[in-house]
Amino acid sequence: MEQNRFKRLWQHWKCPRWRVEKFFPTADLERISREIGFSEQKHAGQIRFVVESRYTNSEVLAGVDPYTRALQWFGQLGVWDTEYNSGVLVYVSFADRMVEIIADRGVGRIVPQEKWQAVCDLMRESFRNEQYVHGLESGLEAVGSVLTECYPRQANTVCHDDLDNDVMMI
């Protein structure tokens, strides 16, 4: 157990934000942000992406895991507070090489967890191959497809863009 804790400390220590940002060029993140907006025109969901480079030493030692952290960001960014309870957070813990998807209750009642897990697996595969931007792109495409299939926009419904579309790098 201790060895795993120190290994994880090392993983987080070697992933400062400035180093992680090199894998996600600004132009690519801006393009993905625009694609989030285009995707949201096809379904009633609201998508938010967060890429967190690493946790503090105290967070690692306290055992903070990517799922817990994703829940924190879900609340802090107000992903739960959309008009149709349709927020979806795609959270990437870069140092842990983990992806978590947290869906608000409106989407969660309709979309089975297995679909979200398949998206996480798809993204992690790209990250394993060091194709980080491609991982975000494929994740967005897959999330958009799931939402279009399971939570389509109704014909006469006006959906407001409740969440910022920018990919958040932390």
pLDDT in tens, the chain (170 residues): 455 889 999 999 999 999 999 999 999 999 999 999 999 999 989 999 999 999 999 999 999 999 999 999 999 999 999 888 999 999 999 999 999 999 999 999 999 999 999 999 999 999 999 999 999 999 999 999 999 999 888 877 666 788 889 999 99
Pick the closest to residue 47 from 111, 76, 90, 93 (CA basis).
Answer: 90
CA angle 24/82/86 to nearest 5° reads 75
Domain ranges of the chain: 2-153+160-169
Pick the closest to residue 10 from 60, 79, 69, 63 (CA basis).
Answer: 60
Q: Which class is domain 2-153+160-169? A: alpha beta
Is 25 within 8 Å of 133 (Cβ atoms)? Answer: yes
**Number of Cβ within a 10 Å radius of residue 110:** 15
What whole-number distance in Å separates Cα of residue 90 and Cα of residue 47? 8
Give the count of alpha carbons within 13 A of 115, CB side only.
20
